[in-house]
Structure 1
């Protein structure tokens, strides 16, 4: 197949370009500079210059393809994101999909979008599936808007839409995962919990970025449409995730901190992401495609993350244990 991927140099996009190219597909990756072009080419893709926020550039960049994947985001990585940070992400997601479909929507068979499962987290914290009513907040508003746009426009343009709501991404080159690792080693990242003393933990749904790319490749090849949740096999708490990361790094167990104390520092959005439940399953997607995660639990995935950091020099081994190499930039696993 011929596939066009926005966000082709990101955590998901880079892996998807490589996976599809390895399977023999013609993969075009949207890039903005020479560094991005080199990255796409090194993964077997064909770079195309443009910007999702510049419709005229997309008219030149998007070739005749069968599948569009809108994986471009600008998710904030600041400890306390500003409104401007979130607005930038909104534009990349929402204006980006409008420009992309406006330029190429009539000529493609399918459009795929990586949404997030916590757009449908339930106010009472109960498990939910694809049929659950959404409850978007500031962090998920744009994901919900893209979901709505694709549902509204698929009939008018004649394409099938596949919305894959993913769990909380982690990977060796993910900015948030790297922030977690650096802070855990430094003893600066606490376990956030609800309640007066911070002892109440919420179950979250995670997903290794390699498994996300695998899921999109399977969705493309099996030609599924509709809405699916793509997460690993077992929801876990932030406490378990962070404690396991500390164990893998040989760092002391993180201390606990009530979410209400962290909120003034982290902001409401980040605090809610880590402390409000979002337990769901991959059952529907697995049944539809046969996909299975290579990292079925956070333990499997975090082991790979730390091994990769040790291999690429992100971690420096000393007699006292691992130290974070501040001069090392992220390398895709």
Structure 2
């Protein structure tokens, strides 16, 4: 299968690209900076220099592709408008260009941060998105992109990723910037890079799932106390006010039942034991 991949130089995309290549796919990967092209080649991909906000810069590379895997995103950016343009507007431009090129499958990486708090239960894919203000513009832009993309492209498959970690990604250590303010029992749902790639491959190949959305997460959310222990940092003295123990926890029944997804690393502890952190 010929795949057009975005986000190849990012934390998720750089780890997904070699796995797509290893599976036998021909991957044409979009990068903004020509200096990133060598990294794409080293991972087995074919670099395409362009800008998601300028479809003419990558339109030729879309021709002949069988699927789009859209992993590019802006997460940490003080300007909400830039986040919106990168995650919402650019996604729609890519969706329209993919339609023009006759591409039938479009895998879109979103986030479980689109779910509201206060549910008193894990969030399912049928839970209406309503991002919490504390997470800023990123999940708001992703929720908007989901809605618009599902209306635009009939072949969209949405993957809502939990907190991604592993393989040298500093994300787990960065979690302490906000987990240090949580109650010790508050949990974070995680998913290893290996299992993100597994979910992408399953969503790419499964028939009859156009328009479906899937939560992608492991089997054992970690508490704020455990996040500190994993990073070798003592948990701060005192405890904030109690929080909803289900906020941020998502139900993975659908992806397990329909796509056969099983986390290769069901918890961060198993990933640590395997030396995969």
8 Å Cα contact 1:190-1:257 kept in structure 2 = no
Aligned in 2, Cα 1:302/1:146: closer, same or farther, shift over 3 Å?
Answer: farther
2:195 paired residue number: 211
**Displacement after TM superposition at 1:276 (Å):** 7.8
Equivalent of residue 255 in structure 1, options 233, 236, 239: 236
Query: What TM-score does the superposition give when structure 2 sets the normalisation length?
Result: 0.86
Query: What TM-score does the superposition give when structure 1 sets the normalisation length?
Result: 0.73
CA shift digits 1:210-267 (9 cap, x unpaired): 2111210121122433011110012222222222332xxxxx523246558xxxxxxx
Give aligned pairs, total. 269
2:128 paired residue number: 133
Structure 2, unmatched stretches of 5+, are: none
1:28 paired residue number: 28
1:94 paired residue number: 88
2:13 paired residue number: 13
1:111 paired residue number: 106
Aligned in 2, Cα 1:163/1:308: closer, same or farther, shift over 3 Å?
Answer: closer
8 Å Cα contact 1:49-1:61 kept in structure 2 = no
1:152 paired residue number: 151
Q: Which has the larger radius of gyration?
A: 1
1:192 aligns to what SS in structure 2?
coil
8 Å Cα contact 1:211-1:294 kept in structure 2 = yes
8 Å Cα contact 1:4-1:69 kept in structure 2 = yes
8 Å Cα contact 2:206-2:259 kept in structure 1 = yes
**Displacement after TM superposition at 1:72 (Å):** 0.6
Structure 1, unmatched stretches of 5+, are: 247-251, 261-271, 310-333
Q: Which has the larger share of helix? A: 1
Written as runs of structure 1 = structure 2, the 5 A alignment for 1:1-333 is 1-76=1-76, 82=78, 84=79, 86-106=80-100, 107-137=102-132, 138=136, 139-154=138-153, 159-179=154-174, 191-194=180-183, 201-223=185-207, 224-225=209-210, 226-246=212-232, 252-256=233-237, 258=239, 277-303=247-273, 307=275
Root mean square deviation of aligned Cα = 2.6
